Amino acid sequence: MASSGEGPSGGSSCPPSTGSGSEPAAVAEGAQLDSTEDFEVLEEEEDDEEEDLSELPPLEDVGRPPAPPRDQAQDRGEAAEEPQEWLDVLGSGLLKKKTLVPGQGVDTRPRKGQVVTVRLKASLEDGTVVEENPALTFTLGDCDVLQALDLCGQLLEMGEKALIVSDAKYCYGAQGRSPDIPPNAALTLEVELLEARDAPDLELLSGKEKIELANRKRERGNYFYQQADYVLAINSYDIALKIIGSSSKVDFSPDEESELLDVKVKCLNNLAASQLKLDHYEAALKSCNLVLEHQPENIKALFRKGKVLAQQGEYREAIPILKAALKLEPSNKTIHAELSKLVKKHADQKNVETEMYRKMLGNPSAAGAPGKCKDKLPWSIPWKWLFGATAIALGGVALSVVIAARN
């Protein structure tokens, strides 16, 4: 639930935990993949890889109640101390917000893209406290934290204390968070908005700061990928890539340039994996090609590109790409299996095409009547041609007779 702070100078906490940190534990070490790699694993650091998400609301859809008339806002009196009724944030009853202590007015609400700091306490329905953070810092709208907090954060006024009751869908979902948050658990969040400031200027970040910021976004994308939230994973990888690709007024060292490229390749590979999960083949192909522009022998990019082409029925183009990946790592069983499957599909496709061409040309399939073909004599084949030639000759004679009679 906690997230990394987006300020380059610190004040950050870890991204939402799944029980053992932000990086998946199943990733093999080193740049090369081991023979058990299933290619669903995401790109990770050297020391460390379906559901329909169409109902997840975009953050822009969160409604903002209209500001009260100025005379009411200035003259709150005792009425301001009365507890506010529950606000149904999304209109579905799954996410509700209630003001406990009023803030400084709607003009003080943070904007999407700003870095905010909140005091947070999260509890289960039975009152068990599962997390407390006196100063949680995150970028609003970047999905750095639970969706419930990211969505409702746009409705908090400076200094406001609020209660947020959220369905599991906007918290830790069907997987929960081991060991303290069970699957499909609703959460109650007590939140106080402490600070809101503009995000750091990417052009002024040092190489180290830019790398750290991009890596935090990438790690958040990996978390969403593990949760099968591929839409949100793509969002996080896109943000990381925008950070890496932003212009800079600061000179980077060669090592920093190399590390930024490494993070970019990891984000693109993970982006392709997420796009494949959603059947976004053209987008996944573009991501793979961008990786191969920088690293032509990147095994994961080659494998995923071959898989994308295969999904599009382009077996002839996919097979040599998978062969290139297999040449780089001959012992990889996953590539072997995928390549064998594609070769068989390509052979079947060629047989279907051959049969189709035979029918188009009026030649029956050899498999359709093998006995009949064997019994035919060589001189019996051109009867159609002989009959046609005879008909043409008779037609010519008849035409000559008609012409002679007219004369």
Query: Does the CA dihedral 102-132-14-36 come out positive or negative?
Result: negative
Low-confidence ranges of the chain (pLDDT < 70): 1-84, 348-355, 357-359, 362-407
In three state form, how does the secondary structure of the chain look? CCCCCCCCCCCCCCCCCCCCCCCCCCCCCCCCCCCCCCCCCCCCCCCCCCCCCCCCCCHHHCCCCCCCCHHHHHCCHHHHHCCCCCEECCCCCCEEEEEEECCCCHHHCCCCCCEEEEEEEEECCCCCEEEEEEEEEEECCCCCCCHHHHHHHCCCCCCCEEEEEECHHHCCCCCCECCCECCCCCEEEEEEEEEEECCCCHHHCCHHHHHHHHHHHHHHHHHHHHCCCHHHHHHHHHHHHHHHHCCCCCCCCHHHHHHHHHHHHHHHHHHHHHHHHCCCHHHHHHHHHHHHHHCCCCHHHHHHHHHHHHHCCCHHHHHHHHHHHHHHCCCCHHHHHHHHHHHHHHHHHHHHHHHHHHHHCCCCCCCCCHHHHHHCCHHHCCHHHHHHHHHHHHHHHHHHHHHHHHC
Write down the pLDDT at residue 49.
41
Write down the pLDDT at residue 391.
61
The ranges assigned to domains in the chain are 87-198, 207-358
Write down the pLDDT at residue 338.
87
Write down the pLDDT at residue 371.
47
Write down the pLDDT at residue 24.
38
Backbone φ and ψ for 55, nearest 5 degrees, come out as -85, -10
What number does CATH give the domain 207-358? 1.25.40.10
C-alpha radius of gyration, the chain, whole number: 33
Could you report the per-residue pLDDT of 285-302, keeping only the tens digit for each? 999 999 999 999 999 999
CATH, domain 87-198, list 3.20.20.140, 3.10.50.40, 3.40.50.300, 1.10.760.10 = 3.10.50.40
Write down the pLDDT at residue 313.
86
Same fold, 87-198 and 207-358: no
Backbone φ and ψ for 210, nearest 5 degrees, come out as -65, -40
